[in-house]
């Protein structure tokens, strides 16, 4: 983030202001609109842009990546059964039956014996690293 900005959000708004100037040059009817700022795991923002504005954004200094959103389709219609949600009471009706709810990841746990935890191809463990390994059950 450039030192001229106190927070990322202000930087993003300045970027969008520069895109608005571009928008006027190409006579796009709808100016860019910031709708979300990401601040925790990553720094970034969600914005409504034309494809031309997206290409202009990609050329902006400090832009690492920019890409258009795409529509995802439901993979299952049985999520409520899988989660044992009760239609009469509890979480399901309290959440207005999932309206505006997104379940991103359901983690069923870590399995240490999984191939993704194998150390094949890794170098020797540095001596300064103090660790122990406990085999799985």
Angle in degrees, 0-180, between the axes of helices 8-25 and 51-58, rounded to the nearest 10:
130
- Print burial letters for 94-133: b (CB count within 10 Å at least 16), e (below 16): eeeeeeeeeeeeeeeeeeeeeeeeeeeeeeeeeeeeeeee
pLDDT above 80 for 77: no
Query: What backbone torsions phi and psi does residue 8 show, to the nearest 5 degrees?
Result: -60, -40
pLDDT tens for each residue of 22-68 = 666 665 566 778 888 888 778 888 888 888 888 888 888 888 888 88
pTM over 0.95: no
């Amino acid at each position: 983030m450039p030192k001229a900005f106190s927070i990322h959000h202000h930087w993003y708004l300045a970027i969008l202001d520069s895109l608005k100037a571009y928008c006027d040059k190409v006579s796009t009817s709808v100016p860019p609109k910031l709708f979300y700022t990401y601040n925790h795991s990553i720094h970034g923002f969600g914005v409504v842009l034309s494809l031309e504005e997206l290409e202009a954004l990609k050329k902006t200094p400090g832009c690492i990546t920019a890409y258009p959103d795409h529509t995802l389709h439901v993979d299952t219609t049985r999520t409520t059964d899988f989660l044992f949600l009760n239609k009469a009471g509890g979480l399901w009706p309290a959440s207005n039956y999932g309206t505006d709810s997104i379940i991103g990841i359901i983690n069923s746990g870590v399995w240490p014996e999984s191939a993704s935890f194998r150390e094949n191809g890794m170098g020797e463990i540095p001596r300064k690293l103090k660790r122990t390994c406990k085999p799985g059950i």
